[in-house]
Amino acid sequence: MVELKKYENGFEYLEIQNSVAVAKISLQGAHLFEYKRHNEEALLWLSEASNFKMGESIRGGVPICWPWFGMHKSDDSLPQHGFARTSIFSHVDTKESEDSTELTFILKSSKDILDMWRYKFELHYKITIANELKLELTTKNCDKEAFSITQALHTYFKISDTSNIHVKGLEDKPYFDALTCENKTQNGMIKIDREVDRVYQHVDKPIELIDKNKTITISSQGSDSAVVWNPWIDKCTRMSAMKSDNYKTMLCIESANAFDDEREVLAGKTHTIEVISR
């Protein structure tokens, strides 16, 4: 079952239910902000202080960073992480079975968007709600010339506590430490005991988020980079839609095309990043 709902302020979202899971997806940003298998806790973290307002990104779930990751290379007046996460997507298709719901959303170039990014495009986003969560983001170049993109599916995972977790699968991988602006190499598994903001490269196998009573596996295609982020204490108190202790129960592991993993999309061609979390 897929039902269109809205908050009192008119903010619209889709509520999805099938035999194995429930989910909620905002039409703004095609932003998945809830995914939960029946009789289990939520896979995704969502801030209790999230603002569901037009023009403001939701704090939690899976924001789409596109067509650039981080700040724009040449114009810092443009929105951080691009414009997709606050743009209105069209919900164009639903395919349902008893244990799976597949929804497709599209964002197309418009006059306002062309003022920020001059290329014509279509951004197709397919979300499959089943026993596993599958996300497929496809960039189609509708222009007459090639363009390059950086992007990320900025997934906030819900954890029991930072003291209980470690991340496996990025051992010996090179990464850029955004806090020190240094290039480093990962030594052993990742533990979260301070602020972390890293972009890993040459990611070629699934990543495991190992918690006290569960393990989340993140498998990607069309992506050779991954971001691991936790704001920790000081930054958490300064961020919008975050409570001071929220850093304890969330960790972002983002499948990406970032930095050295930037992708060129030729005229008339497509590029797809696919992520399965289970």
CA distance 255 to 227: 7
Backbone angles phi, psi at 90, to 5 degrees: -95, 130
154 flagged as catalytic: yes
The DSSP bridge pattern shows strands 2-6 and 64-65 to be unpaired
CB-based contact 218:207 (threshold 8 Å): yes
Contacts 24+ apart (CB under 8 A), 71-74: none
Annotated catalytic residue: which of 81, 124, 136, 254?
Answer: 254
**Do residues 246 and 211 make contact, with C-beta atoms less than 8 angstroms apart?**
no
Q: Which among 6, 8, 3 has a CA at the least distance from the CA of 23?
A: 3
Nearest to 138 by CA among 114, 109, 105: 105
Residue of 38, 48, 154, 208 marked active site: 154
Closest by CA to 31, choosing from 156, 199, 218, 149, is: 156
Q: If you ran DSSP here, which 8-state letter would residue 89 be given? A: P
Q: Where are the alpha helices (DSSP H) in 31-117?
A: 111-116
Torsion angle of C-alpha atoms 33, 102, 69, 173, degrees rounded to 10:
100
The pair of structure tokens assigned to 182 is 């240094």
* Residues tagged active-site: 154, 254
